[in-house]
Amino acid sequence: MAVYTEVSPKEARVLLRQLKLGELKTLKGCAGGIENTNYFVTTQVAESTHEYVLTLFERLTHEQLPFYLRLMKHLAEQGLPVPNPTANARGDLVFEVKGKPAAVVNKLRGQSELSPTPAHCAAMGTMLAKMHLAGRDFPLSQPNLRGLTWWNETVPVVLPHLNAAQTALIQSELAYQNHTAASAAYAALPRGPIHADLFRDNVMFDTAQGEPELTGVFDFYFAGIDTWVFDLAVCLNDWCIHLETGVHDPERAQSFLGAYTAVRPLKREERDLLPAMLRAGALRFWISRLWDFYLPREASMLQAHDPSHFERVLRERVNHPNLLSTMTV
């Protein structure tokens, strides 16, 4: 989250009244993330207060947004703890604020756990598998807009900012991923709607009877139709590594994988290609962080991520391809 477009209380109040969400009490810009403009909103209805998130979409279009918002509503209506977009009387989910497409969703309870334990990883593994299964009958289709096509388009743009070793790594890995994507095994991978950005800061936890309770999954605005094992790999590359070094954490990875496969067992092709997808997930976020770091957009409260983190993760995944071979998947 960031603030690219300033929204006044008067402008927010117009939309909130249209959606019958009560009277605006507070409007506060959000500092996390880098893609959209986000505000935390508190409203008053009679004697009760309610919390929402107002998002203005800086890159996504009116035509693209129904996929993300309808997917969130689809998952929420199946009982999963994801933000439920607010509709107007006609059932619309996309609105306009300051000339930008906008949406309002309920604010989830809890807080992100930035130092997850094996128990947090198990809870997330279970939830990810449930999300994949719940999305099987989702009727809309939209590609993963930050998938292989985007990687091929973006790598030439960031190459001038890389040294010789980085250039060699990014070009060789991109060639490897293009080769993998052209294989029959890749074509056989199960797929459906994926979150594609399910890092630890996009998940909320509370505590119930001394154990972590997963209370929410949010920020679906990189979602698309892609392979489920790629979504799993993106999670493993964040939840189950040491952030300082990018080194694999076997205990957390086993907890995550064990919980996921207890709900949705992996097919043979998924097990075989999981190491390649771990590399793919690291490459995807290295490219996007390079792009955001060297070609930034102006925004108040913007916090760009360090691209070197996913360079380290990718090198670890390339140099140690068999780390998951001893695990139960």
Residue 244 identity (one-letter amino acid):
E
Mean pLDDT throughout 159-177? 98
Least confident interval from 157-171, 189-203, 208-222, 298-312 = 298-312
Among 249, 33, 57, 235, residue whose Cα is nearest residue 132? 235
Residue 10 identity (one-letter amino acid):
K
The whole-number pLDDT of residue 300 equals: 45
pLDDT band for position 177 (cuts 50, 70, 90): very high
Between helices 228-239 and 308-319, what is the axis angle to 10°?
110
The whole-number pLDDT of residue 147 equals: 98
Nearest-angstrom CA–CA distance, 189 and 165 = 32
Q: 64-123, pLDDT tens digit by residue?
A: 999 999 999 999 999 999 999 999 999 999 999 999 999 999 999 999 999 999 999 999
Residue 325 predicted with pLDDT over 70: no
Displacement of CA 277 from its chain's centroid (Å): 16
The whole-number pLDDT of residue 210 equals: 87
CB count in 10 Å sphere of residue 113 = 20
Mean pLDDT throughout 156-181? 98
Looking at domain 9-105, its CATH superfamily turns out to be Phosphorylase Kinase; domain 1 (3.30.200.20)
The whole-number pLDDT of residue 324 equals: 75
Q: 239-278, pLDDT tens digit by residue?
A: 999 999 999 999 999 999 999 999 999 999 999 999 999 9
Mean pLDDT throughout 206-233? 96
Residue 222 identity (one-letter amino acid):
F
The whole-number pLDDT of residue 32 equals: 62
- What ranges do the domains of the chain cover? 9-105, 118-319
Nearest-angstrom CA–CA distance, 94 and 92 = 6
Place of tokens 């279009």: 61
SS3 string of the chain? CEECCCCCHHHHHHHHHHCCCCEEEEEEECCCCCCCEEEEEEEEECCEEEEEEEEECCCCCCCCHHHHHHHHHHHHHCCCCCCCECCCCCCCCCEEECCEEEEEEECCCCECCCCCCHHHHHHHHHHHHHHHHHHHHCCCCCECCCCHHHHHHHHHHHHHHCCHHHHHHHHHHHHHHHHHHCCHHHHCCCEEEECCCCCHHHEEEEEECCEEEEEEECCCCCCEEEEHHHHHHHHHHHHCECCCCCCECHHHHHHHHHHHHHHCCCCHHHHHHHHHHHHHHHHHHHHHHHHHHHCCCCCECCCCCCCHHHHHHHHHHHHCCCCCCCCCC
CATH class of 118-319: alpha beta
Nearest-angstrom CA–CA distance, 329 and 323 = 12
Mean pLDDT throughout 193-200? 98
pLDDT band for position 303 (cuts 50, 70, 90): low
Residue 298 predicted with pLDDT over 70: no
